[in-house]
Structure 1
Amino acid sequence: MHNNSSSHFTSFDGSTLYYQHWASSQNSQPKKAIVLFHRGHEHSGRVAHLVDELNFPEFDFFAWDARGHGHSPGARGDAPSFSACVKDIQYFMQHIEQHYAISSENIAIIAQSVGAVLAATWVHDYAPKLRALCLAAPAFDIKLYVPFAEIGLRAFSKIKTNFFIQSYVKAKMLTHDHARSSSYDQDPLIARAISARVLLGLYDASKRIVQDAYHLYVPTQVLSSGRDFVVFQKPQKQFYERLPHPKKEFHVLEGFYHDTLGELDRDIALQKIHRFIQQCFDEPYQAPQLLNADKIGLSCAVAETLSTPFPAHSIKNKIWQQIKANLKFASRFSTGIKIGEDTGYDSGSTLDFVYRNQPESTQLLGKIIDQQYLNAIGWRGIRIRKQHIEQLLIKYIEKLRQQQHAIHIMDIAAGHGRYILNTISQLPERPSSILLRDYSALNVTAGQKLIHNLELEDIAQFIQADAFDQASLAATTPQPTIVVVSGLYELFNENAQILKSLEGIYQAMQHGGYLIYTGQIWHPQQEFIARALTSHRAGSAWVMRLRAQAEMDALVEHVGFKKVDQCIDEFGIFTVSVAQKLE
Structure 2
Amino acid sequence: MSSLGGTAMLHQHNITAAPAGLERVAEERTFRSHDGTEIFYRYWPAIGEPAKGAILLFHRGHEHGGRMAHLVDELAMPGHAFYAWDARGNGRSAGERGYAPSFAALVRDIDCFVREIARDGFGHSDIALIAQSFGAVLAAAWVHDYAPDIRALVVASPAFSVKLYVPFAKEGIALWQKLKGRFFVNSYVKAKFLTHDPERIASFEADPLITRPIASNILVELYDHAARIVADARAIAVPTQLLISGADWVVRHGPQHQFFVNLASPAKERHVLPGFFHDTLGERDRHQALDLIRPFLERQFAAPEKPVDLTGADRAGYTRDEADQLASPLPLLSPRGLYWAMSRTSIRMGAWLSSGMKTGIVTGFDSGSTLDYVYENVARGHTPLGRMIDRTFLDAIGWRGIRQRKLHLEELIGNAVATLKAAGRPVNIVDIAAGHGRYVLDAVATCAEPPASVRLQDFSDLNVSLGQKLIADRKLPGTVSFHRADAFDARMLARLDPAPDLAIVSGLYELFADNAMIARSLGGLAKAMQPGALLIYTNQPWHPQLEMIARSLTSHRGGQAWVMRRRTQGEMDQLVAAAGFDKIDQRIDQWGIFTVSVARRA
TM-score, structure 1 normalization: 0.98
1:195–1:315 distance in 2 versus 1, CA, 3 Å: closer
Contact 1:3 1:25 in 2 (8 A): no
Q: Distance in 1 between matches of 2:335 and 2:259?
A: 32
Letter in 1 for 2:283: E
Other structure's SS at 1:528 match = helix
Q: Distance in 2 between matches of 1:200 and 1:143?
A: 13
1:21-60 superposed matches below 5 A: 21-28=43-50, 31-60=52-81
Other-structure match for 1:354: 374
Does 2:134 correspond to 1:104?
no
Does 2:565 correspond to 1:545?
yes
Q: Distance in 2 between matches of 1:110 and 1:575?
A: 25
Does 2:37 correspond to 1:15?
yes
Q: Distance in 2 between matches of 1:321 and 1:558?
A: 42
CA offsets, 1:13-67, max 9 Å, x none? 11221100000121036x4011000010001100000000001010000000000
Other-structure match for 1:283: 303
Letter in 1 for 2:143: V
Unmatched runs of 5 consecutive residues or more in structure 1: none
Query: Which of 567, 573, 576 is 2:596 aligned to?
Result: 576
Does 2:361 correspond to 1:341?
yes
Query: Which of 160, 167, 170 is 2:190 aligned to?
Result: 170
Letter in 1 for 2:94: P
Other structure's SS at 2:188 match = coil
1:456-535 superposed matches below 5 A: 456-535=476-555
Q: Distance in 2 between matches of 1:161 and 1:322?
A: 35
CA offsets, 1:65-106, max 9 Å, x none? 000011100111111111100000000001112x10012112
Q: Distance in 2 between matches of 1:256 and 1:417?
A: 57
Q: Distance in 2 between matches of 1:318 and 1:174?
A: 50
1:259-338 superposed matches below 5 A: 259-338=279-358
Other-structure match for 2:205: 185
Contact 2:53 2:301 in 1 (8 A): no
1:210-249 superposed matches below 5 A: 210-249=230-269
1:45-84 superposed matches below 5 A: 45-84=66-105
Other-structure match for 2:3: none
Letter in 1 for 2:467: G
Letter in 2 for 1:47: M
Q: Distance in 2 between matches of 1:259 and 1:181?
A: 10
Q: Distance in 1 between matches of 2:477 and 2:518?
A: 31
Q: Distance in 1 between matches of 2:349 and 2:179?
A: 34
What is the CA-CA distance between 1:548 and the residue it aligns to? 0.2
CA offsets, 1:370-428, max 9 Å, x none? 00001100000000000000000001111111111111111000000001112212333
CA offsets, 1:120-172, max 9 Å, x none? 00000000011110000000000110000010001011122211101001110
Q: Distance in 2 between matches of 1:315 and 1:205?
A: 29
Does 2:202 correspond to 1:194?
no
What is the CA-CA distance between 1:333 and the residue it aligns to? 0.7
Query: Which of 79, 88, 91 is 2:112 aligned to?
Result: 91
What is the CA-CA distance between 1:217 and the residue it aligns to? 1.1
Letter in 1 for 2:77: F
Query: Which of 451, 469, 473 is 1:431 aligned to?
Result: 451
What is the CA-CA distance between 1:11 and the residue it aligns to? 1.0
What is the CA-CA distance between 1:457 and the residue it aligns to? 3.2
Greater mean deviation of Cα atoms: 454-463 or 569-578: 454-463
Other structure's SS at 1:480 match = coil
Q: Distance in 1 between matches of 2:398 and 2:507?
A: 12
Q: Distance in 2 between matches of 1:4 and 1:311?
A: 64
What is the CA-CA distance between 1:313 and the residue it aligns to? 4.2
Greater mean deviation of Cα atoms: 164-173 or 306-315: 306-315
- The count of corresponding residues between Structure 1 and Structure 2 is 580
Letter in 2 for 1:96: I
TM-score, structure 2 normalization: 0.95
Letter in 2 for 1:565: D
CA offsets, 1:419-476, max 9 Å, x none? 1112212333211000000000100011101111112132111000000000011110
Q: Distance in 2 between matches of 1:205 and 1:508?
A: 39
- CA-atom RMSD, angstroms? 1.0
Letter in 2 for 1:407: V
Does 2:474 correspond to 1:454?
yes
Does 2:413 correspond to 1:363?
no
Letter in 1 for 2:482: F
Q: Distance in 1 between matches of 2:342 and 2:106?
A: 42
CA offsets, 1:488-517, max 9 Å, x none? 000000000000000011111122111000
CA offsets, 1:279-320, max 9 Å, x none? 112211211111110000100011011111123443432322
1:426–1:105 distance in 2 versus 1, CA, 3 Å: closer
Contact 2:374 2:394 in 1 (8 A): yes
CA offsets, 1:494-551, max 9 Å, x none? 0000000000111111221110000000011001101110000000010000000000
Query: Which of 421, 425, 437 is 2:441 aligned to?
Result: 421
Greater mean deviation of Cα atoms: 404-413 or 2-11: 2-11
Q: Distance in 2 between matches of 1:380 and 1:203?
A: 20
Other-structure match for 2:4: none
Greater mean deviation of Cα atoms: 377-386 or 428-437: 428-437
Other structure's SS at 1:8 match = strand
Q: Distance in 2 between matches of 1:66 and 1:406?
A: 40
Letter in 2 for 1:165: V
Other structure's SS at 1:24 match = coil
Percent identity for Structure 1 against Structure 2: 51
Q: Distance in 2 between matches of 1:462 and 1:111?
A: 49
Other-structure match for 2:394: 374
Contact 2:195 2:283 in 1 (8 A): yes
Letter in 2 for 1:209: I
What is the CA-CA distance between 1:248 and the residue it aligns to? 0.7
Query: Which of 117, 122, 136 is 1:116 aligned to?
Result: 136
Q: Distance in 1 between matches of 2:308 and 2:30?
A: 33
Contact 2:37 2:95 in 1 (8 A): no
Unmatched runs of 5 consecutive residues or more in structure 2: 1-21
Contact 2:429 2:503 in 1 (8 A): yes
Q: Distance in 1 between matches of 2:405 and 2:246?
A: 41
Other-structure match for 2:12: none
What is the CA-CA distance between 1:325 and the residue it aligns to? 1.5
Q: Distance in 2 between matches of 1:112 and 1:315?
A: 42
Q: Distance in 2 between matches of 1:262 and 1:519?
A: 39
Q: Distance in 1 between matches of 2:538 and 2:353?
A: 32
CA offsets, 1:314-338, max 9 Å, x none? 3432322222122111111110000
Other structure's SS at 1:463 match = strand
